[in-house]
Amino acid sequence: DAGITQSPRYKITETGRQVTLMCHQTWSHSYMFWYRQDLGHGLRLIYYSAAADITDKGEVPDGYVVSRSKTENFPLTLESATRSQTSVYFCASSAKGLGGSGELFFGEGSRLTVL
């Protein structure tokens, strides 16, 4: 099915472990994003990518790593998970830019708990 899919949808891990959240889109959108959503903070941009092999930091990038070797995939890695990274993570894509000039299409989210 066309769209944007995230996996896993739910993940429980322990402090210090490495975790990778996967994101795959079938529209061939140039732009992809990772957001985290926390109560009291709303949606905050972690990293974004304008094309394959082009990534840039967002508002809260510390502790996260991204890569984009293929247009359709944009994995987010927590190299050493901390409790403060407990959150719901959303991947999004856009055909036209970082969001202002075009619609963002969001995945259903990955709910991560770090114990």
Partner 1 sequence: QKEVEQDPGPLSVPEGAIVSLNCTYSNSAFQYFMWYRQYSRKGPELLMYTYSSGNKEDGRFTAQVDKSSKYISLFIRDSQPSDSATYLCAMSVTGANSKLTFGKGITLSVRP
Q: Which is nearer to partner 1, 18 or 102 (by Cβ)?
A: 102
Q: With binding defined as CB under 8 A, does residue 45 bind partner 1?
A: yes
Residue 85 dihedral angles phi and psi, to the nearest 5° = -90, 5
In the complex, the smallest distance separating the C-beta of residue 33 from partner 1, rounded to whole angstroms, is 9
Site for partner 1 in 84-113 (CB under 8 A): 90, 92, 96-101, 103-109
Distance CA 1, CA 111 (A): 22
Per-residue exposure over 52-82, b if at least 16 CB sit within 10 Å of its own CB, e if not: beebeebebbeebebbbeebbebbbebeebe
**Site mask for partner 1 (CB under 8 A), range 56-85, x = bound:** --x---------------------------
User: Which residue is associated with the tokens 């075009």?
Assistant: 102
Residues that bind partner 1 (CB under 8 A): 40-45, 48, 50, 58, 90, 92, 96-101, 103-109
